Structure 1
Amino acid sequence: MNNVKNVFSIKDLENLSGIKAHTIRIWEKRYNVLEPMRTETNIRLYDLQSLQKLLNITLLHNHGYKISQISKYPPEKIPILIREIISEKSVKSHAINAFKMAMMNFDQTLFFTTYNSLLSEKSFKDVFHEVFIPLMNEVGLLWQSDTISPAHEHFISYLIKQKLLINTEKIQVQQPTRTDKIFVLFLPMNEIHELGLMYLNYEFILNGYKTIYLGESIPTESLKDVLKYFDNITFVSYMTVQPDKNEVTDYIKTINKDLLANNDTNLWLIGRMVQEINPEVLNSRTKIFNSIEEMAKEM
């Protein structure tokens, strides 16, 4: 069973805030900004309120406030200063911190409030590129370091997926304006990290293309069926954890044989596992991208 964390180590705070554990200890000792709980063996532990306070302090510190100043402020002043920073400077850091707290507290209301605030000033595309992509990169690292549980990751991912589906549906009512190619989006077998692929589908539709979205865990054999119905297909796959590094090169060989036999068929690949592909199996109709932004520019 996955226990949902609501008590954190100093290493967890470092991972969530970006402030080194050594610096947190100094801030505690010199300025009394946090009051950790202690185990019987004198190990520091922190609650969600401490995490929220540290994220706020970090935001102020990153915008030029000295920790010696911040430590003297009454608790009610810090949220006021945070609001001033948000209105005067960048909302990005605050939004990411707010989404992190929404994730840690399983707080849908905070998620929606923060999202709606962003959307009042930015397009959905800008929100996704500037906030959601960095957020999910951080969430992935937090999950790998065991700072958050799978429950936290699934909670925040589902809420972002909701927004992606809503915004994709809004633009799907328009007929495609570009007919030079059709994009078929899929994930390999046992690959379930769908968020990036869903966003690429949104980008393709926004740019006027017809898409066929197949989603997660699609057998290669099933992809061959699409070739019977359409020409000028570009297959798009997002490989986060599957196929694994020992299988990914053979997987590309199979795709080359089964899907790229026709000259009008192409393959675009993105995700962590593409770095494990042996370049010798790649042909002129296969493109590898290092980021969502890079693929979006190719459209």
Structure 2
Amino acid sequence: MNNIKSVFSVKDLENLSGVKAHTIRIWEKRYNLFSPIRDDNNIRSYNTDDLKKILNISYLNNFGYKISKIAKLTESEMVALTQQIYSEKTQASFAISNLKFAMFNFDAKLFHSTYDELEKSKSFEEIFYDVFIPLLDEIGFLWQTETLKPVHEHFISSLIRQKLFSEIEKAQKNVNFSNEEVYVLYLPMHEIHELGIMFVNYLLLRKNKHVIYLGESVPMEDLQEVIKYYNKITFLSYFTVQPEIDNLESYLFDFKNSILKREQDRFYILGKQVSDYHSQIPGIYTFSGIQAMLMTL
């Protein structure tokens, strides 16, 4: 393991493990599980070794092991026990814990070894749905609670992006589409959260669809060029933070008026920004999730 360390508050450990801060303090005092550093104001801080331990404790505790028994285990015994109860049923939660630890310790080797283990029994699509999407949801929560720093998110996102690029390349080599309908995938201006739309790209290619992937931060007027080349287009985008909620409807009306001039063209939208929005604009459709969107194809 590398020597890069991060510092965590007891609240951070709560957010990452699901174990209440009050419970962590009780376990710390009663079982001497952690040795936090205290500052001049007697505020505790924890390192990544403590994070790894609380993740393993939480994992074992969730599967019925009492804290009194867990506390008697050495670190190696604790790791061995987590591996012993590891099964296909618990694989995803175990992997998510490993990936969170890899993220906070900047441990690419642990990321890849965890992924390789998942790959033995799951397809890439299953890994993304069962592990990466829940992990990214947790990252969103950790961001909101200020447990997560941007550098950690960038690190784990870049590793997931590597896997997506690899799988997309394989799918592109095997696709055999017709030109009757084209899917144009893009993100709007200032939207840089690309993992979701990349996964949609992969899924469409696996379904033998003709995909034109334009990537992040695309000006709306640039889409007009694509219309010249194809008779029927489904535009597809993922609104995570852009456009802002106050500007959402005006963006969609602009899209309708400037891009969706032909009756046969459509616009499909996914993402947090449209989770509570139901479009009444002809040709524009919002979806609660990727699977709901795929059912319409």
Q: For the superposition of Structure 1 and Structure 2, which TM-score range results when normalised by the shorter chain? A: over 0.9
- 1:130 is matched with which residue? 130
Partners of 2:5 and 2:105 within 8 A in 1:
no
**CA–CA separation in structure 1 for the residues paired with 2:219 and 2:6:** 39
Report the alpha carbon displacement of residue 178 of structure 1 after superposing the two structures with TM: 5.8
TM-score (norm 1): 0.94
- 2:116 is matched with which residue? 116
Structure 1 residues 210-249: aligned runs within 5 Å: 210-249=210-249
SS at match of 1:282: coil
Q: Which letter does structure 2 place at the counterpart of 1:225?
A: E
**CA–CA separation in structure 2 for the residues paired with 1:134 and 1:186:** 23
Partners of 2:253 and 2:281 within 8 A in 1:
no
Partners of 1:200 and 1:296 within 8 A in 2:
no
Indicate whether 1:46 and 2:39 are aligned: no
Partners of 1:5 and 1:148 within 8 A in 2:
no
Partners of 1:7 and 1:47 within 8 A in 2:
yes
Q: 1:296 aligns with which of 273, 294, 297?
A: 294
TM-score (norm 2): 0.94
- 2:79 is matched with which residue? 79
Report the alpha carbon displacement of residue 29 of structure 1 after superposing the two structures with TM: 2.4
| Count of aligned pairs between the two proteins | 294
Report the alpha carbon displacement of residue 18 of structure 1 after superposing the two structures with TM: 1.3
Q: Which letter does structure 1 place at the counterpart of 2:231?
A: D
- 1:263 is matched with which residue? 263
Flag the 1:108–1:258 CA change in 2: closer, same or farther, 3 A: same
Partners of 2:5 and 2:48 within 8 A in 1:
no
Q: Which letter does structure 2 place at the counterpart of 1:14?
A: E
SS at match of 1:246: helix
SS at match of 2:245: coil
The answer to which of 190-199 and 136-145 deviates more is 136-145
Q: CA deviation digits over 1:167-208, x for unaligned, max 9?
A: 010011123346552110010001111110000000000011
- 1:16 is matched with which residue? 16
Structure 1 residues 133-282: aligned runs within 5 Å: 133-177=133-177, 181-275=181-275, 277=277, 279=278, 282=280
Indicate whether 1:7 and 2:1 are aligned: no
Partners of 1:249 and 1:276 within 8 A in 2:
no
Partners of 2:175 and 2:205 within 8 A in 1:
no
RMSD: 1.7
Partners of 2:270 and 2:288 within 8 A in 1:
yes
Q: Which letter does structure 2 place at the counterpart of 1:51?
A: L
- 1:94 is matched with which residue? 94
Partners of 1:5 and 1:149 within 8 A in 2:
no
Flag the 1:88–1:208 CA change in 2: closer, same or farther, 3 A: closer
SS at match of 2:251: helix
Flag the 1:42–1:214 CA change in 2: closer, same or farther, 3 A: same
**CA–CA separation in structure 2 for the residues paired with 1:89 and 1:172:** 32
- 1:35 is matched with which residue? 35
Question: Kindly, what percent of the aligned residue pairs are identical?
Answer: 46
Report the alpha carbon displacement of residue 32 of structure 1 after superposing the two structures with TM: 2.3
**CA–CA separation in structure 2 for the residues paired with 1:90 and 1:40:** 42
**CA–CA separation in structure 2 for the residues paired with 1:99 and 1:275:** 27
Report the alpha carbon displacement of residue 53 of structure 1 after superposing the two structures with TM: 0.2
- 2:283 is matched with which residue? 285
Q: Which letter does structure 1 place at the counterpart of 2:125?
A: K
**CA–CA separation in structure 2 for the residues paired with 1:288 and 1:31:** 51
Report the alpha carbon displacement of residue 245 of structure 1 after superposing the two structures with TM: 1.4
**CA–CA separation in structure 2 for the residues paired with 1:225 and 1:149:** 39
Stretches of structure 2 that go unaligned for 5 or more consecutive residues are: none
**CA–CA separation in structure 1 for the residues paired with 2:127 and 2:276:** 31
Partners of 1:184 and 1:233 within 8 A in 2:
yes
Partners of 1:267 and 1:286 within 8 A in 2:
yes
